[in-house]
Amino acid sequence: MLRFAVLGAGAGGQSMAAILSEQGYPVKLYDIDREKIAALKSMKTITVSGKIEACGTPDLITDQLEEAVTDVDIIMVVTTTDAHAQLARDCAPYLHDGELFILTPGHCGGALEVAGILRGENGCGKDILIAETGDLLYACRCYEVGKPLHTGLKSSVKLSAFPASDTSRVMDVLGPVFPMLRAVDSVLETGFEGGGAMLHPLPTVMNINKMDLGEPYDYYMEGITPHVAEIIEACDKERVAVCRALGLDVLPEAEALVKMYKLEPKDSFYDLIQSIEPYKGLKNPTSTKHRFLVEDTMNGLVPLASVGKALGVKTPIMDAFITLASIICGRDFASDGRTAEKLGFAGKTAAEIREMVK
């Protein structure tokens, strides 16, 4: 029986721990948030409702990383992606040969970043399988600890290992457990084709006045107005251009959403967003530390723009939002984020990058 560690007790991590536990898998759930862990410990059982229903009791709920990752076969990382690097460093002493280290999702370059840490000169020295998904496995949110709500079903979520030659080994293990997973050619496809960098930092920046005033709003339904939708579409053209420079046959975000949620195409991106049922009712970010602003800029916009620059693709809209987000958050995301240099892409041609990830 496979033994799992689920790192991150947000909506996705709580859901994963509950679903795996209900299916009979030994599961340890970890989070750095001691208050949340204490609440989950007192509840013991996590109840998933909505489009997916499950009740599961993890074998261990802890804020101690060593307890969580010792004696497990698979580590499922369901944290915000800006935590990946430090988690990899912290997990390294406890890893063993043949273990799976899966980022769900990896965002742009997650598996590359983690591989550089675990397989680098000062890495763990173990034969670890490293992979990432292109998105969170579940369409869910959590307004009450221990009770995640699933608002939709994801029928297809991309997965690739780094290197891609390991993908079939990972799918042999995870495919039967997570039927929505679909193997793709490389981590370029899982990382650079995702639309989070379009749908999260841009609307958050455009609605920053509402955050300052403490005004609540429905994030997608009210936060993405017709003109905001036009800005997102224009920025998405830059993302598509970067992906195509990498040799990826990527879909524009509108077409990707139609495919993901099995929707009817609409005349405008705004109308399409308004038609996505799982997007309705999502609460707005209330802090400049929110993942929509921080991680999706650092690990979404920054790598896309940085790799674009390395390949001669201009990304003025992305550059503008990186600058605005940096001002709002008081940090330099262009330096802090996953740059082409940090991903090992600097000085490489697109062909050399594709060869690197095989």
pLDDT given at position 121: 79
* Phi and psi torsions of 234, nearest 5°: -65, -40
CATH 3.40.1010.10 is the classification of domain 4-192? no
**200 catalytic per annotation:** yes
Distance from C-alpha of 247 to C-alpha of 307, rounded to nearest angstrom: 13
Give start-end residues of each CATH 1.10.1040.10 domain in the chain: 196-356
Q: Taking the model in full, what pTM does it have?
A: 0.88
pLDDT given at position 4: 98
Task: Spot the catalytic one: 296, 319, 332, 336.
Answer: 296
Number of residues in the chain: 358
| pLDDT higher than threshold 80 for residue 260 | no
Mean pLDDT calculated for residue range 68-97: 96
pLDDT band at 194 (very low <50, low <70, confident <90, very high): confident
pLDDT given at position 79: 96
pLDDT given at position 103: 98
**296 catalytic per annotation:** yes
Task: Spot the catalytic one: 107, 200, 236, 290.
Answer: 200
pLDDT given at position 99: 97
For 156, the token pair is 């297809």
Give start-end residues of each CATH 3.40.50.720 domain in the chain: 4-192
196-356: CATH class: mainly alpha
